[in-house]
Amino acid sequence: MKRLWIALALLAALLCGTLLHTWSLRGFTQGLSDALDEAQTLARADRWEDARSLTEEALQTWRERDVYLHVLLRHADTDQIYAGFQETLALLESQEYGEYAAANARLVTQIELLSEAEQLTLKNVF
């Protein structure tokens, strides 16, 4: 009987850890998406330096959690998002709104999909 309780306690701890991870990741990715959306609004208003600064802040936020993200997520996904940040920053330099908007939209979508893939849903479990 003691083994059963230990096993249940371990399963409960794993479930709590999973829920905490998904909750934390959702908040983190939502903050990044909001910052990148705001940067796109600034670029549309020809405030390119402000947009670049906001995008660099979002990238710095991403880098601050780099170890956590690489440990708990697929490396290919995190590397693709990092590359998306680099592409977006390069296009901010050229100040070509159309290309920048498309790259920024791809980056926001990748970030949102990263969070969605970690959610505890039937679609992700099966």
Q: Which region among 9-18, 96-105, 114-123 has the lowest average model confidence (pLDDT)?
A: 114-123
Identify the helix (H) or strand (E) that includes residue 118: helix 97-118
Residue 6 lies in a domain: no
**Model confidence over 51-104: pLDDT tens digits?**
999 999 999 999 999 898 888 888 899 999 999 999 999 999 999 899 999 999
Could you list the residue range(s) of the whole structural domain that residue 59 is in?
A: 24-119
Residue 5 lies in a domain: no
Instruction: Please report, for the domain that includes residue 104, its CATH number.
Output: 1.20.120
Map residue 27 onto helix, strand or coil. helix
Residue 70 lies in a domain: yes
Average pLDDT over residues 119-124: 72
How many Å apart are CA 36 and CA 93, to the nearest integer?
15
* Total of domains in the chain: 1
Residue 11 lies in a domain: no
Residue 110 lies in a domain: yes
How many Å apart are CA 80 and CA 70, to the nearest integer?
12
How many Å apart are CA 24 and CA 4, to the nearest integer?
30
pTM exceeds cut of 0.75: yes
The angle, 0 to 180 degrees and rounded to 10, between the axes of the packed helices 97-118 and 2-44 is: 170
Q: For the chain, what is the mean pLDDT? A: 91
